[in-house]
Structure 1
Amino acid sequence: MENLTIKPNYVDLFSCIGPKCADSCCNDWKIIFDKQSYKKTIKHKYLADLAKFALRETKESDSSWAVVKLDDNGACPFLDPQKLCNIHAKAGEKALSYTCKTYPKNEQLIGPDKYQSLFLSCPEVTRIVLFDDNAFQFSANENGSKAALMPSPPWLEKSYEYSLDLLLNSGLSWQESFLAIGLLLKTSNEVRLDKANIEQLSVRYNQLLNMAQMGMITEQFNSIPYTPLPQKHTFVAIHDALCKTHSRSTRARFESINNAIAALCNEQNDYSIDKINEIWNTEVTTKLTEHAELFTKFILYSMFHDHFPMHEDHDPEQVLQQLIIDCFMIRCYLTAVYHAENGLTEENIIKCFQVYHVVRQHKPKFIERIKNILSEYGLTSLPAAISLLKTQ
């Protein structure tokens, strides 16, 4: 049997919009040249002179041989006045560096199969994922490879499948579904550590479906207290980490979000999480009725993109905590922008998700910082992590 390539429709729907992009990857982006692309560029008759001062050799490896020296405005010097790529125009797509040739594409080999996705750090990808009705039609096609590769662990595949089902088919809100998924992952982790057998994972999944249908998950979610102080500390710490890590933190797009957040400071110049949550409850949720599936789509994307709860360094419960943090932070950003702009346009929604993911998807140190913050503020238990989603 041939191995499969699995992808959602948003991969095929994407097409780079070039100079029309609101946050081009040709600006403020570390562009790495592999050795082959570098050699082709410095020897090209129309690119050689420019390449002499536009590229800096690093020789870290054949795949990381040189980097682009961005200009004073953070732009790639290979852009022409119309913000189109001179390398692509004069030497063709094959001459592009691996970074430029592949971004925003993402491909993972999981077991014997390839999973194709795109990065939300690209505004056009975010637009398609969140707003195109056809984004989540999936295909699985034979890719011509018959390599006999080890399958991924059964506990991972069942956890992935059951988590998606609890999100989409349990009748729970997306916030409540996190609680059900968290309870599932406790069993997943036991199976992963050989403390339980794989059959117990299926038993637990069916128990959770029954609990959801009986209203028990909703009841448990409602019993978790609203804790504004840990929310405030967590938000301030993670936003500070984002500001320090973001490669475009001095650009207008990022500053518009940062200024919106600053406008919600109280008289003591302190962030008011109560105010943020009040605006979310009384204003934003009523205005977002036409986008009621916004966070469900985002969580579905995240689970597929990362093959949830797969992670090299974090256990399944820590992976869930990271995803909860993502939703918490983006909810706060949406609220702040709504308050500043007296509404939320589609472009502003895209901006909140995309700006956050420029760091979230490309800076491993930021992910480690989130993990440490959760530990610092005692948010590593499931109820404590879920409490970040409570708004009253």
Structure 2
Amino acid sequence: MRVLLSTYGSRGDVEPMLALAVRLRALGADARLCAPPDFAGLAVGLGVSFVPVGRPVRPMVTGTTPPSAKGLPERAAEWVSAQFETVIAAAEGCDVVVGGGMMPVAERSAAERLGVRHVYVTFQQITLPSPFRAPLARAGRAFPPEVTDNRALWELDAKDIGELFGPTLNDHRASLGMSIVDDVRDHVYTDTPWLATDPTLDPWRETSDVDVVQTGAWILDDDPPLPSELEEFLDAGAPPVYVGFGSMAAHAPGLRSPEDVARAVIEAIRARGRRVVVGRGWADLALIDDEPDCFAVGEVNQQALFRRTAAVVHHGGAGTTMTATRSGAPQVVVPQAVDQPYWAGRVAELGIGVAHDGSVPTAESLSAALETALTPATRERATTVAAAIRADGATVAANLLLDRSA
């Protein structure tokens, strides 16, 4: 059996697909990953066949000028065309096409053209229609303030998606002799979307709107050792507080001055008598001095590192939140955009950390948040929740694909 896994986005959109690819291979299937060029090395290092799609993500995210809402329709059209040009060819010879990440518009058409199964997966539930919450407003396309009913807002969400992606999608489908799609969002999401999140961290409330299959999170159990210099730092004193903002760029709302952010965070952690590990990330955070109580790291095994920290301060990306929760480390989430306020709320609701008030961290606000995060009660609760987190999501998903495609 051969499976095409297709996604576009940051590491949080790619790493779960790699976890599924590795698990499928262990079960005797062949998995091919279609993802942004940025992640070719990560895929090849895991022995996963890789097909690049679209532009590299990091230069777009970290550019000095963030993408504007004004050019969104043109970028959407370019993105759909890039998908059709790459995904259709990459799907040849596959038995299943799994699409996720940023609006995987072409994947269902590729599966339909080949007469094979298609699965849509999301790594955060807030993209799925639900009467229990409103959809996220898209950049430059705010919802009318007078519309407050959730179902009405989801109808507007479907309309927005159709206007953005529908014309180019239907142009490509017509060129392939395929029928026109009226509701792009429901076409992409299907009637039975998969939700690859942990039911403890991210419980799905059943609704008649969609029939969700929650598999559990797809965790990549790649376990490279920590750098020897980092090991030495960790061994030299009490567990430090980690701070990092992952793939958030320096022009994210709260990170427009990485130097100020680094200073605020380090001062807040020092004020609590703790050492610091700074994750540079795409915002390129750096140390503010050469004092021995701070250490900076680039790409690192967060699963191993977070287990050795006193707390984790982060942006609230789905992958980082899951890793921190699974490690049992108390968290301070400083959400910047998209789904991150949702994850910050879940951390606070579970009692495993603190949702920072707003996207702009200061030494005072972070010190106050850490006061709660570093209490024995928060650590105890984080340990309890960590024990409930499932690690078999990728196995569940792989078996579903294999069984239903037999």
TM-score, normalised via structure 1 length = 0.26
Instruction: Determine which structure has greater relative contact order: mean sequence separation of CA pairs < 8 Å that are 6+ residues apart, divided by chain length.
Output: 1
Q: Given the two structures, how large is their TM-score scaled by the length of structure 2?
A: 0.26
- Larger radius of gyration between Structure 1 and Structure 2: 1
Q: Which has the larger helix fraction? A: 1
